[in-house]
Structure 1
Amino acid sequence: MKNRIAAIVMAAILAIYLVLVFQRAVMLMATGVPIAIGMGVALLVLPLIAAWAIGRELLFGARTEKLVKLLDAEGGLPVENLPHRASGRPLRDAADEDFPRYKAEVESEPQSWRAWFRLGLAYDASGDRRRARSALHESIRLFRADERTQH
């Protein structure tokens, strides 16, 4: 819940920022000076790219949260029994010991969104955020494909 509130606050701050930047961009373009027009266009494009990226992250978070709820309801989330650092992150060595089990599950069921999701959690616990996100994206893709075939 804390992460959701933080994401909403950041999105609201971004929205305020976009409105202010948009105003400045329009003011610059209205001057008619070529350099000011170029700066105004840049002020329009760059925040739009940022808004798109934030939107993708929020969508990723919402989809991931949906899958967590589904797995939790099924009793399919991994049991969190790893020792943790003071920061709350699992100890990497302990997480690495659990990792082969989740990798083997994906290898035996490559079309299972559940297996990919658990693998993503295992990557995250091991500190490999890039692979964790990749596995979670694959899990979301497989889940959405399952939804389409069921309807």
Structure 2
Amino acid sequence: MSARVGVAVMAALLALYILLVGWRAVQFLQTGDPVGIAMGVALIVLPLVAAWALGRELWFGVRAEQLARRLEIEGGLPDDVVATTPSGRVTRDEGDAVFPRYRAEVEADPSDWKAWFRLSLAYDAAGDRRRARGAVREAIRRERVAER
């Protein structure tokens, strides 16, 4: 739940930033000065990009959570018994040990979104967040295709 609170706070701060920058952009546009107008246009474009990026990340989080819940309900989450740290994170050695199984699952059926999602969990357990996010994105794409 604390992650959701953090996301909400960051989203609210970004929304405030977008509003303040948008207000400043209007002020620059009203100056009539070419440099002021150029700055105003730039200040309109940058918050739009920020809003798009925020929306994309929030949607990614929502979809990833939906897939995790669905996989949990179907009983498809990994059930490996692994050592964890006191905070509950899988130890890196244990994460590395279970990783080949989930990679082989994806290689056996690359169209299976469930295999991609489990692979993302293995990447995360192994400490590779970049690849974990990529695997979740692939799971979202594959699930969308499977639902059609």
Work out whether the TM-score is over 0.5: yes
For the aligned pair, the TM-score class normalised by the smaller chain equals over 0.9
Cα RMSD, aligned residues only: 1.4
Cα distance in 2, alignment partners of residues 51 and 87 from structure 1 = 33
Match of 1:2 in 2: 2
Cα distance in 2, alignment partners of residues 73 and 117 from structure 1 = 14
Cα distance in 1, alignment partners of residues 61 and 80 from structure 2 = 20
1:95-134 to structure 2, matched below 5 A, reads 95-134=95-134
| One-letter code aligned to 1:18 | I
SS at match of 1:127: coil
1:57 equivalent to 2:57? Answer yes
Match of 1:20 in 2: 20
Specify every segment of 5 or more residues in structure 1 that has no aligned partner in the other structure, as ranges: none
- Kindly state the Cα deviation for residue 86 of structure 1 after the two structures are TM-superposed: 4.6
- Kindly state the Cα deviation for residue 134 of structure 1 after the two structures are TM-superposed: 1.1
- Kindly state the Cα deviation for residue 51 of structure 1 after the two structures are TM-superposed: 1.1
Match of 2:137 in 1: 137
- Kindly state the Cα deviation for residue 143 of structure 1 after the two structures are TM-superposed: 0.5
Cα distance in 1, alignment partners of residues 44 and 80 from structure 2 = 45
| One-letter code aligned to 2:111 | Q
Match of 2:73 in 1: 73
- Kindly state the Cα deviation for residue 70 of structure 1 after the two structures are TM-superposed: 0.4
**What's the TM-score, normalizing by structure 1?**
0.91
